[in-house]
Structure 1
């Protein structure tokens, strides 16, 4: 049997009349005249197939069918009101869901302050935070499985994605505490020429890997990478055991391992960038709101430089 559609204006009129039990009072509350109200109720009764109100001189009341319909009608109107409120919040960028990818090292720099600021301004937004290295973030952005990326060394040009540098920082040498160079306050890259290296695989961050490699080439040698690790925490742990040295963003100093020494690089000209990335075609209003949150809680150091 086909279920009848019950127009919401008729349900609204029915609920108000059921609460007032007086056509004049209900019409005034609805802001309409009594005849249109009576017509709305008649149309609704025709759809239901039964009378919803008893009508006696000077008084009306709910029939059993009306009493049965009343809670469902109230529920439908409440659901509609809640849905409209939620839709307005999502449309205005004050609610909804935002999927954020971030490189592990970003958790040591801009991520905590960004999330603190954003959550404070938009507590109704559901944040889906995913740890991902740079290359998977770029792929996830293009396929639409994340909305925002926080990554290192974005590509120079991309037709689909936009990038903005939010932080840049120098590199440091990562050494075991027992390494001879650990006694120095700073090291030159060429002093690492005869050391085995521990680096992230190029597949997870091609631009950063190439930048580190180019630092070494500019110093007169090609690094001999003997160990790879996907996370900087693991890179530092392998360095601690004496398996090699590394070059890393300065924020990696915050990974505190007793057996690891971080030394600044001289000359300290090379810097690595952290960028926010997004799809240029994305209409989600939460994306520009999160980008704007960097202005509310700016990280230390030079920042806010558009790549494209």
Structure 2
């Protein structure tokens, strides 16, 4: 059974005669008659009563007509959805992000995208940057708001830098150096809490380079695999920490932040994707993000 069998049958049922159905479909009357006869043989019984001038539906034909119409509507919807999907108008989009790194711009981008593409189903996943890399490779997510690519992911993934986040000093609110700014050299005698190098090797090395340029090597007394963990250790009095300024938004009450002078170290926030998994939906989202890059940069991501 093919869709044309259903179309021919519905046309005869609606018009009442084979001749009218032939004109409406621009198909020969004999072809329509043959196809409906084939349909009846496949079903095993008559769907039309041809004993009178008008072709009337048998009771079985009435039941079949209702289901045939549903099938045709469903097939038309399937074609429409496929065509719209090819244009990026319907479908799904999975996006990875890490909360404090995405900043206020992330929520604004998502809201704007939902307005522009209300029929795209968005799935948002909060995950560490290194988890995002594997998720992009495996196809679990389509795009990720993450750190700039590092080996080996820079060989298979692509990314665009959105803005650079300056490194600031986190310290307990009652620390003697607490204030708006601090000289890097003033931190030489302080115990340091670090985010483990495996998490953000570029930033870890950048902090060491900043300290070296200021004339000292940091005394690392503790570490954590998360920035929230680093701030908890700082709040507990374990030491100070150099962190991306976005960490301010993790809202740790007992911690204050100071700008480092001179400001020399930054860590980037990028949008990354797997070129093998890019389709019209992914490209539309990426285009929207990049169109807003100047606004993101001017606001520092917030």
Instruction: Answer yes or no: same fold by TM over 0.5.
Output: yes
| TM-score, scaled to structure 1 | 0.87
Give the structure 2 partner of residue 178 of structure 1.
174
Which of 38, 59, 65 is the aligned partner of 2:54?
Answer: 59
Q: Is the 8 A contact 1:152 1:208 kept in 2?
A: no
Aligned equivalents of 1:20, 1:225: Cα separation in 2: 86
- Aligned residue for 2:297, secondary structure, equals coil
| TM-score, scaled to structure 2 | 0.88
**In the alignment, is residue 159 of structure 1 matched against residue 152 of structure 2?**
no
Q: Is the 8 A contact 1:187 1:264 kept in 2?
A: yes
Give the structure 1 partner of residue 199 of structure 2.
204
Aligned equivalents of 2:12, 2:224: Cα separation in 1: 70
Q: Label 1:226 to 1:128 Cα distance change in 2 as closer, same or farther (>3 A).
A: farther
Give the structure 2 partner of residue 137 of structure 1.
132
Correspondence list, 1:50-129, <5 A? 50-129=45-124
Correspondence list, 1:212-231, <5 A? 212-231=207-226
> What's the RMSD between the two structures over aligned residues?
2.3
Q: Is the 8 A contact 2:162 2:297 kept in 1?
A: no
Aligned equivalents of 1:294, 1:26: Cα separation in 2: 52
Structure 2: unaligned runs, 5 residues or longer: none
Aligned equivalents of 1:54, 1:24: Cα separation in 2: 15
Q: Is the 8 A contact 2:98 2:145 kept in 1?
A: yes
Aligned equivalents of 2:85, 2:223: Cα separation in 1: 43
Q: Label 1:223 to 1:94 Cα distance change in 2 as closer, same or farther (>3 A).
A: farther
Aligned equivalents of 2:141, 2:296: Cα separation in 1: 26
Aligned equivalents of 1:225, 1:21: Cα separation in 2: 88
Structure 1: unaligned runs, 5 residues or longer: 1-5, 304-308
**In the alignment, is residue 169 of structure 1 matched against residue 165 of structure 2?**
yes
Aligned equivalents of 2:158, 2:26: Cα separation in 1: 51
Count of residue correspondences: 297
Aligned equivalents of 1:228, 1:216: Cα separation in 2: 17
Aligned equivalents of 2:173, 2:287: Cα separation in 1: 41
More helix by share: 2
User: By how many angstroms is 1:296 displaced?
Assistant: 4.2
User: By how many angstroms is 1:292 displaced?
Assistant: 0.7
Q: Label 1:229 to 1:31 Cα distance change in 2 as closer, same or farther (>3 A).
A: farther
